[in-house]
Structure 1
């Protein structure tokens, strides 16, 4: 490809859209909310597997070229940026493939206190009380307890991405992985972005953290979750009380493995 490809992944509601909005201020960069490439990558990988009756005619090198072609064709001439950041929670589960396809590509995994992730989603559900959300397959029933359980299970929005994050964090392909804490991004965006630029090996850029802009209103409306990708104009922490029952909040309060150096055997960069 003529472009440099990096990846944004990690946990939902942890700053990936905010990070993309900030990076997008750099005219050399393209970054946005989660897109279709992760799903397309998985689908093509499956279609090129043994379930295809003609798979005996497909070599690994052909698979590799076809997967590379996805990025080459999707990020075509209409994307004038030299550096592309593709966002998808699936990328943390594809570290080995990404390392092979993009040896210089970096994966920035956004992370956040898991209890506050659950809280953030619950707050959105309550704010849009008359619009069932795609997060829960547009089902209007349930309680805060069933929603938290659904989010946290292995196939849930949070549980899947959390397990993928751990797979990346404890896997063998961590040299190109960095974890960026939501708390760092909103409290000290300049330090967070300086770390990102150093990690990807790009020259520093003067970002405007008081004038951040990003719009995905049509997508959010269709998903039944207006505000899902809302980015506040000024990057600043916003303190508030949790809407979760105390027992639900406590359930996830010890899940931040990335904060304990003893649980970081491969010395993954955590900012």
Structure 2
């Protein structure tokens, strides 16, 4: 099948699952929650590197074919869609590789104020008070301060994705990159989806934003975090106060660099 690949990346708790659920209403599209290919590509790149004593027998063209083969084989005949969106936070750190593997592919990076991302994760932790989460390696004795610190550090769920996003945003391969704000997707989904279609160069499709479905309850339960990928049937913004201590919330209040046009030297599209 002459299939096209695009990628959904960006920050956690920022609308990637919601975006995938909406896009998957289009019968020509396949989109879902984060999958394994980002990690497999990272591992294979390492195994094909100089640390492998047989790497002298491996050319860059062979590396390219092997990496591309991962996508072609993972999304086999059982995936009948013409356009596949693979979701993983790692893709923002892999723009040079994606450019060579899929020159026409687009990367949609979902973004949200970091304070509200931390707040959203903390809300899930408290909601599932009797189920330790895989997000924190099932540890049970930490505080909101330790959890926020763990999320925000360079290897954390939020910190890694944030650093990868900045790498993509300020790198040389931004022509096929778009940032989609969580606030836009939830408060004005019609405009957000129209912008996505325009960015992709795809013909418009009549999505039903009042009847969105996605179910990853089994995965979320196994991760000890029920509701992690829950999507409300009706898309809309919900106003509420933060449950974070003010000093934790304010620590990340100025991290939304994408809102400042002066910090966007390459003119990346931000919706």
Deviation string 1:22-74 (CA, Å, 9 cap, x unpaired) is: 00000000000000000010111111111111110000000000000000000
Which residue number in structure 2 is paired with residue 149 of structure 1?
149
Which residue number in structure 2 is paired with residue 118 of structure 1?
118
Which residue number in structure 2 is paired with residue 36 of structure 1?
36
Deviation string 1:144-196 (CA, Å, 9 cap, x unpaired) is: 00000000000000000000000000000000000000000000000000000
Distance in 1 (CA, whole Å) between partners of 2:267 and 2:48 is: 35
Which residue number in structure 2 is paired with residue 23 of structure 1?
23
4+ aligned runs moved over 3 Å, structure 1: none
Distance in 1 (CA, whole Å) between partners of 2:54 and 2:116 is: 47
Could you tell me which runs of 5 or more consecutive residues in structure 1 were left unpaired when the two chains were aligned: none
Which residue number in structure 1 is paired with residue 198 of structure 2?
198
Which residue number in structure 2 is paired with residue 85 of structure 1?
85
1:56-75 correspondence to structure 2 within 5 Å:
56-75=56-75
2:241 aligned with 1:241: yes
Could you tell me which runs of 5 or more consecutive residues in structure 2 were left unpaired when the two chains were aligned: none
1:170-249 correspondence to structure 2 within 5 Å:
170-249=170-249
Deviation string 1:73-124 (CA, Å, 9 cap, x unpaired) is: 0000000000000000000000011011111000000000110000000000
Q: CA deviation at 1:239?
A: 1.0
Distance in 2 (CA, whole Å) between partners of 1:143 and 1:27 is: 45
- Any idea what SS the aligned residue of 2:178 has? strand
Q: CA deviation at 1:2?
A: 2.1
- Any idea what SS the aligned residue of 1:135 has? helix
Which residue number in structure 2 is paired with residue 103 of structure 1?
103
Which residue number in structure 1 is paired with residue 255 of structure 2?
255
2:268 aligned with 1:268: yes
Distance in 1 (CA, whole Å) between partners of 2:18 and 2:232 is: 8
- Any idea what SS the aligned residue of 1:212 has? coil
- Any idea what SS the aligned residue of 1:267 has? coil
TM-score by length of 2: 0.99
Distance in 1 (CA, whole Å) between partners of 2:154 and 2:95 is: 19
